[in-house]
Structure 1
């Protein structure tokens, strides 16, 4: 009995071709993430920078497919990522059009700066401050850390507070012009795994922000608040789970082909892994459908991300345990996959945080 489904059938021919192109450059990107600049002509790049209206379900599907190619290469690429979702939620039409024009025409990388050294990713207690100077300008002060592409991206979103309450959080669009200011410092942090993400820290010291770069001014206080920010994370969370799933599926497929001549020896193992991957995919897709219907409904999204992280680690560890040293040495991408798979636990919230978030969503209790 054959449990293998081809990636072309699972993801479609186009996404599979995109995935292969990311796999092709994966080891080079891992060595030097900035080499992605040499591959902006790849069709997958145009696909990513053109995404301005995808649903959570659509992103869950295509992010799994592209991570099947290589998640490090994917994360090094230009694209809207979380900043794009924030723009779609809080920005006015002119701001949205300008953001996506720069993204597509100039192939800009983007960042999303929430996490802080002293407060972590607790958006309700961030310390970065945005203070009004006059009618047209603001001053931004604070430090952000542990977010992707922060030191190399040409554009991104920074979360800051104008007052100490849930209605006082603002999203600030940082453009290429603003990044030229000398009172913004950026640094790539040393990394062992998933190097394409280029995790960074950034600090602002009386950085001047034009009023038109503050998102949500046209919205009510309720819509331009922490509530909207949480809804954006809900929309992305199944995508992070899909990144973990895509990597695990790729490792499983590799080992399946490697050991296919001894299928009956490993039949029960293959069936068990295939079932875990399929159930994980189904849970992510169901969670994405719920978020698309109601952006505030993040309970299943949180649980599906936590589940995907655990499944990915389990599948990758067990599959690689079947490989001989010679087989691993002959396939450095598989070694890289074992190193990278543990990063998903810390992206967009650990399992503990996801469980707390799910509990809060379902019960209203913290």
Structure 2
């Protein structure tokens, strides 16, 4: 039996760019059309640094942590020294990204290519929490919170979903905020909140009882009345510490209310940006599973020859490579639209709905290549297969994102 760290890339995989493409551990075997060539030299260096960090510091930890259903806290220390946290937020006093959306997307892809749980932890901290403060906070708030989060001296979480409201949280949010002078009082419950059990700052969304608008608040982990209880017995993203959060008369000063968020429309702007990151995560899961299957097909022999020499196995691999290539092209163009500042909700929604649906198919084919070994954690692909289910659902289900795109292309809403 092999382990995750034994899965070196096969060396006989032809690539259209030949020697111009990196070799060995620096290669992405699924990049059949050389999409990474769109990066600048400096961006390429950051991506390779990300890849090496994940291979050396993250990959050896994930199977044990996944099996035990625990988040390896030593990862926080390792990320602190990686230089990868907070890259989009350099220059905290303005809103201009420090790196391109393409590089940010490829970094999210690299995370999931190794482990979707670690990508989710990083996405909650570096994406949802930090971006909510970056986009929703004023200059003073960005300068107060983002440096510590970027250094991972503090950890962030993002509390939107509720026990009774997932897809309809915009209209059905039950968590309330009541203002008393210069203080807000928060009451309610949140569910599926990643990182909340150990986060220092939790961005909580609540409905103002006075004007019925959703507002954002940064709540400290030691706030009186705040409690986070880990959700156990999960079969997907087992490394992520999702939590049920209870807010019982939590008092938050006005200075900790995100000053640039005054309605759910502002929250939707944040989600629009982070939803595309989840599509990149889905691409990473596809690629990770495909590469495992490709490697396994060259090593595993049946009937006296490697699986890679069987037509039906090649069919599974080629279908998966086609899906990966189509999704990668879509996301590459989406990143260009984001960098140009001309992308809309429906662009992110189409990517999230389409890529996660293809992800399900690719991980199923990869598991099929492994046969019975595909359900054993030691071969890694079982983890990708299980984790895909969570990514398929969070940050907007396929159905909800389909309705967003449907409204955009028809001009008619089909929401109930």
TM-score (normalizing by structure 2): 0.78
Question: Which moved further from structure 2: 321-330 or 21-30?
Answer: 321-330
Partner of 2:109: 64
Tell me how large the CA RMSD over aligned residues is: 2.6
1:155 to 201, 216, 240: 201
**Is the 8 Å Cα contact of residues 109 and 152 (structure 1) preserved in structure 2?**
yes
**Is the 8 Å Cα contact of residues 130 and 162 (structure 1) preserved in structure 2?**
yes
Following superposition, the deviation at residue 81 of structure 1 comes to 2.2
Structural mapping, 1:187-206, within 5 Å: 187-190=229-232, 191-206=234-249
Partner of 1:249: 287
C-alpha distance 160-330 of structure 1, shift in aligned 2 (>3 A): closer
Q: Distance in 2 between matches of 1:71 and 1:351?
A: 18
2:165 to 104, 107, 119: 119
Q: Distance in 2 between matches of 1:58 and 1:160?
A: 33
**Residue 281 (str. 1) matches residue 328 (str. 2):** yes
2:360 to 313, 318, 322: 313
Structural mapping, 1:156-175, within 5 Å: 156-163=202-209, 168-175=213-220
**Is the 8 Å Cα contact of residues 56 and 235 (structure 1) preserved in structure 2?**
no
Following superposition, the deviation at residue 164 of structure 1 comes to 7.3
Following superposition, the deviation at residue 203 of structure 1 comes to 1.3
Q: Distance in 2 between matches of 1:267 and 1:192?
A: 30
Following superposition, the deviation at residue 49 of structure 1 comes to 4.2
2:72 to 35, 44, 49: 35
**Residue 93 (str. 1) matches residue 139 (str. 2):** yes
Following superposition, the deviation at residue 124 of structure 1 comes to 3.3
Q: Distance in 2 between matches of 1:118 and 1:14?
A: 41
Q: Gaps (5+ residues) in structure 2?
A: 1-11, 16-20, 29-35, 37-46, 90-96, 299-305
Give per-residue Cα distances to partners, 1:51-101, cap 9 Å, x unaligned.
423454332111001111112133345833201111121111111112112
C-alpha distance 310-14 of structure 1, shift in aligned 2 (>3 A): same
Q: Gaps (5+ residues) in structure 1?
A: none
1:8 to 14, 26, 47: 26
Following superposition, the deviation at residue 197 of structure 1 comes to 2.0
- Paired residues in the alignment total 356
Instruction: Report the secondary structure of 1:160's partner residue.
Output: strand
Structural mapping, 1:211-230, within 5 Å: 211-216=254-259, 219=260, 224-230=262-268
1:80 to 105, 119, 126: 126
Question: Which moved further from structure 2: 257-266 or 142-151?
Answer: 257-266
**Residue 342 (str. 1) matches residue 398 (str. 2):** no
Instruction: Report the secondary structure of 2:191's partner residue.
Output: strand
**Is the 8 Å Cα contact of residues 56 and 238 (structure 1) preserved in structure 2?**
no
Instruction: Report the secondary structure of 2:154's partner residue.
Output: coil
